[in-house]
Amino acid sequence: MLKKNIFLDRDGVINRDSPNYIKHRSEFEFLPGSLEALKLLKEKGFAVIVITNQSAINRKLMPLSELEAIHALMKETVQKSGGEIRDIFFCPHTPEEACDCRKPEPGLIYQARDKYNIELSDACMIGDSAKDVQCARNAGCGRAVLVRTGNGNAAEKLLAGKKIAPDYIAENLYEAVVWMICGTFSSKKLNF
């Protein structure tokens, strides 16, 4: 059983997001500090698993082969920078398909749990949207962290309205990782 597991959303956390979707490798751009954060996670013994909605597939905006190429590029760049992504789980469905794997549903996290025998109460999910925090809560993850990159600012308001509190709000992935490693609970911890 892996003890130190961290689930990361992709767009808006690791790389820049786009309202038009990331549909090609040329559109994929790492956010500042994300490669350093992934290196730090590896150095501290965390297994990183990416959990991402990728409805551009079923919207016919990109083929599965291009998503696989984007993920191969991401993993290779992370590895060259000293980090490691253990696995990537993605949902290709649109919201209208009402699947159980599209966040905020916990299906992708459950797939990872089953494949790697993960104790979810010991795991953390880091994301930039309300769906990410809700997914972590729905799956039973021990911690949920919201980052302000990507959709984080809008997500804060949405979560407050739903009375769902992340365990921590970070400016970016690097700050979230430092908080996770240090176990620091600061004034940014919210109680709704």
Distances (CA, A) of 163 to 23, 114, 152: 34, 30, 16
Q: Give the separation between CA 134 and CA 119, rounded to whole angstroms.
A: 18
Burial of residue 181 (number of CB atoms within 10 Å: 0-12, 13-18, 19+): middle
Token duo for residue 190: 């919210």
Catalytic residue annotation: 9, 11
Token duo for residue 103: 């966040």
Residues contacting residue 20 through CB under 8 Å, at least 6 positions apart:
none
Which among 15, 34, 49, 74 has a CA at the least distance from the CA of 141? Answer: 49
